[in-house]
Structure 1
């Protein structure tokens, strides 16, 4: 019986698993080692000063005001305020009496306030009469008024007729005799074609121009004085003591009063 010679002893081969499971994964709960374990969280990097990161440049956002719309709104607001203000002013002015308006005109003399019986008299009398003021602003007068439908007389007229026209609400513009023609023409433009206005030269006038209605008078040396127009605007017709009586059909002649006036006697005191 033959016996076999034993061969070299087998050594079992081993596989280096490197602490992994049979699937090649590290066992659960195993402590991580290597590069993966050295990762730093963003919070830690921020705490470390963000080493290695480029600084972020802040973006500038334009904060300028939109001046265009603001200016437009401001202008509109100012215009609106102006319109409202003018409206309020107009209402206030419109509610004022004509006497208050005339009182605001510098240089106007209010003879009505004096309560002078010779100025306040309104009776009709014939012949030549004397008056307190020159030119007269009221008092007894002729029964026939002077025609005052925009009439421009080139010579003095009778006071007695003119005062009656004042009683009807007319404005009488008088000017110094010898006043230059261009200045007379300037005054005539304020009268011509306008009812309840008339004009004539006046002997011995102490100023170049004197404008009067019943009880009020304004004197000036300047034919372009804006107060003249203001006075006319504020007193014409409304200053009448006998409102509503026509200014036509009156005396149309110049010169002193005569017994037979060229006109029609009109009602009144």
Structure 2
């Protein structure tokens, strides 16, 4: 009888963690559409003003304009970026982790110092390796999450250009 009582307790304990170690959070409101280049407070923007068009979700081999990518974040996308010198095997592992997901962007980003940066609206995580378990945890927590002002909005049919 004691054994049966322990199982629900263990399952509850496993599901209790809702934070991901290392995630930095911010407090930007959505809906601020602006034209042209935007000077962001963070080197890698996590929210704030953005272009009226969003970046089509998908895998890119060139830098993206942050003004469009931030709009995708507002729609509930997760933007995964990597340093251009990241090993191909790591880029392929990130591509595989995003496969089948509808609201993700993958692109290199010259301006970052971390190997990998995962960004959602008001949340960001820096990583050294694609094999880090926090890659999946971040995607599960933030893709199409209620933390994005317009979660559920389209992530296709808009801007597809790169820098």
What TM-score does the superposition give when structure 1 sets the normalisation length?
0.56
Residues 234, 121 of structure 1: CA spacing in aligned structure 2 closer, same or farther, 3 A cutoff? closer
Q: Could you report, residue by residue, the CA deviation over 1:128-161 in whole angstroms, capped at 9, with x for unpaired residues?
A: 111111211011111100012xx11011011000
The alpha-carbon deviation at position 83 of structure 1 amounts to: 2.4
CA distance in 2, matches of 1:143, 1:202: 22
Which of 77, 81, 96 is the matching residue for 2:5? 81
Q: Could you report, residue by residue, the CA deviation over 1:86-107 in whole angstroms, capped at 9, with x for unpaired residues?
A: 45447x74xxxxxx82xx2111
The alpha-carbon deviation at position 236 of structure 1 amounts to: 1.1
The alpha-carbon deviation at position 121 of structure 1 amounts to: 5.9
Is the 1:122–1:138 contact (alpha carbons within 8 Å) kept by the matching residues of 2?
no
CA distance in 1, matches of 2:42, 2:158: 23
| Unpaired runs of at least 5, structure 1 | 1-75, 94-99, 113-118, 256-269
Q: Secondary structure at the match of 1:231?
A: helix
Match of residue 147 from structure 1: 56
CA distance in 2, matches of 1:183, 1:87: 32
Which of 84, 90, 103 is the matching residue for 1:177? 84
The alpha-carbon deviation at position 203 of structure 1 amounts to: 0.9
What TM-score does the superposition give when structure 2 sets the normalisation length?
0.90
The alpha-carbon deviation at position 243 of structure 1 amounts to: 2.6
Is the 1:152–1:192 contact (alpha carbons within 8 Å) kept by the matching residues of 2?
no
The alpha-carbon deviation at position 211 of structure 1 amounts to: 0.3
Write out the 4+ residue segments of structure 1 that deviate beyond 3 Å after TM superposition.
86-90, 119-122
Q: Which structure has the greater CA radius of gyration?
A: 1
Structure ranking higher on relative contact order (CA contacts 8 Å, 6+ apart): 2
| Unpaired runs of at least 5, structure 2 | none
Is 2:39 the partner of 1:130? yes
Is the 2:78–2:119 contact (alpha carbons within 8 Å) kept by the matching residues of 1?
yes
Is the 1:208–1:221 contact (alpha carbons within 8 Å) kept by the matching residues of 2?
yes
Between structures 1 and 2, the one with greater strand share = 2
CA-atom RMSD, angstroms?
A: 1.9
Q: Could you report, residue by residue, the CA deviation over 1:27-58 in whole angstroms, capped at 9, with x for unpaired residues?
A: xxxxxxxxxxxxxxxxxxxxxxxxxxxxxxxx
Is the 2:30–2:74 contact (alpha carbons within 8 Å) kept by the matching residues of 1?
no
